[in-house]
Chains A and B, each alone.
Chain A
Amino acid sequence: MNSKYERQLKKGVLEILVLKLLDQQTMYGYQIIQTLKDYSNSMFLLKEGTLYPILYRLEDEGCLTSFWNHSDSKDVPKKFYKITEKGKQTLKELIDLWTVFSLEVSKILEDSKDE
């Protein structure tokens, strides 16, 4: 299969997945990439060039806030992302949309299979 199609399909759900992860836990960029990889059995292998534009967009729209954790310990400073109330509301709307979307797509694919 042309990998471009797979890429396009996955791109459509990245915002909702990122919001969902951050709804569960405040995370930093590298952590989001690793968690998504682990949760999806490596179906979603996000690169920084894709993740950061999503985070910036969500932050600029008020769905996320970010803060640097300049720890006194020897750990390197990390930029954490946290979901806002607006982000939680957006996530809920996107999940509702996804539910209808996946249902309708499945229906069409099922109908096509029957033919």
Chain B
Amino acid sequence: MSVEAPKVHSGFLRGLYAGNTMAVLERGLKVIARNNWLIILTGFFEPVLYLLSMGLGLGALVGAVEFYGIKVPYAAYIAPALMAVSAMNGAVYDSTMNVFFKMKHAKLYDQMLSTSLGPMDVALGEILIAMFRGLLYAVGFMIITTLLGLNLSWTALLAVPAALLIAFGFAAIGLGVTSYMKTYQHLDFVYFVMLPMFLLSATFFPISVYPEPVQWFIMALPLWHGVDMIRQLTTGLVQPSMWGHVTYFVVMIAIGATLATSRLKALFLR
């Protein structure tokens, strides 16, 4: 009895990629459709609650905030920031906690890698699912802020692709970071990096309240770029620095994707 030789792929992704990312995405969407849609849906409430609480309550105390020389109502000031934060949180959550859980506990990747899928198919699939979720949240949030009259210009429409760009950047880096994780405790440190970013990146108040060196530090962090980018779009106060923000995320995606790809074997083939 003899056995046929398999077809062989070549190139630098040899052994890593089978060109079947769609099957991974399909599985993720099936699970969302059958089980998790409620959980996914409710995840969207958090930024809305923040917007209502902070916009209504703090807005009364703060009044208007200056953004690129123009006074902006407080709710309209924080809405784009919350959108950026939500894109970051969703992407980081999906690419760290969720991936780690599926790897350690549900052994999902062991299942996938028992088939002809390669680690690259799995990684791309996970990023696509994270971005799908990001897209849902971004669109939902846009609808709410539009109803509340917090989008001050038509350029606000571009905030949706901008949120996806942010999500892509954080998901790629998150996946790379996860490849170094050993225990659940390591996740706590990820969130401990995200917390100060969330509070300090011009989310609730302009960074001009800080001394200059602190401002420079914050401007080096990715979330500040995300917040400023979306805020320029929703307020219509688009600045030349927009290109800087876009470039920042493109570079972040490139670094994250390179890191994640080079760590794929460490991540999945332990």
Pairing of A with B: no
Chain B residues with CB under 8 Å of chain A are none
Chain A residues with CB under 8 Å of chain B are none
